[in-house]
Amino acid sequence: MRCHGDDLGGKMFINDPRKLGQFAATNLTPGKGGFSPGNGYRNWVLALKHGVRDNRKPLFVMPSHEFTQLTEADMAAIIAYGASLPKVDRELPESRVGPLGRILAELNQVPLFPAEMIDHNRKLVKEMKTEVSLGYGQYLSVACQACHRPTMKGGGPIAPGFPTVPDISSQGNPGKWTDEQFMTTLRTGKTPEGKTMNPKNMPWPTMKVYTDTELKALHLYLKSK
């Protein structure tokens, strides 16, 4: 939802043609300008598991390499939900890379075609037990990696104009919080230190629907890093 909009009808999430470029997140609905419904679930599998369109061309800046780490059960749930979306008529301009975007891509700072990062022969794990464990926490942490890096230690901005990414490992503030403080932070957007998180930079509204078990597992994993 952070990229594709609250109605999943797509949106421009970067509009800086002279520098970074124009990056449009696809309209995922079957409406005008939307995700091609022609082959149903097949197109969703191609996009999520392989990072390509139905014509086998790679999707642009679509983090499919993260979705390939999902279990079969979770990927099936996402596809079923996506296939049920009501139509939203919204046509978006084609994404284009600007001069700075090309430089960042050459430096491997911005993965333009994540399909190149995927092991396309890898089979998905069928399911994972929902419990407060390091393994389940690591599984959930995949959603954090794009910004906070696999180490969870953050670093520089993910792109020019974005803020520095904080350390959320055991060395960062979350490592000092209790489970209750961690859960409250991700459900209210307010940290124990009194900071209000900007949902444009930290998508906490998408995490406030996580269960206590899921958030405790994620916190356990972050504190282990």
Give the total residue count for the chain.
225
Could you give the CA distance from residue 67 to residue 50 in angstroms, rounded to a whole number? 9
- Return d(Cα 151, Cα 130) in angstroms, integer: 23
Q: How do residues 124-163 score in pLDDT, each as one tens digit? A: 999 999 999 999 999 999 999 989 999 999 999 887 778 9
Contacts 24+ apart (CB under 8 A), 12-15: 12/92, 12/93, 14/159
pLDDT digits (tens, 9 = 90+) for 204-215: 998 989 999 999
Could you please report the per-residue DSSP string of 98-151? -HHHHHHHHTTSS-S-GGGG--TTPPPPS----SSSHHHHHHHTHHHHHHH-TT
Could you tell me the residue ranges of all domains in the chain? Answer: 11-117, 134-224
- Please say if the pLDDT value at position 83 is more than 90: no
pTM of this structure: 0.85
What is the CATH number assigned to the segment(s) 134-224? 1.10.760.10
12's tokens: 């421009």
Can you tell me whether residue 196 is helix, strand or coil? Answer: strand
With cut-offs at 50, 70 and 90, classify the pLDDT of residue 112.
Answer: confident
Q: What are phi and psi of 98, to 5 degrees?
A: -85, 175
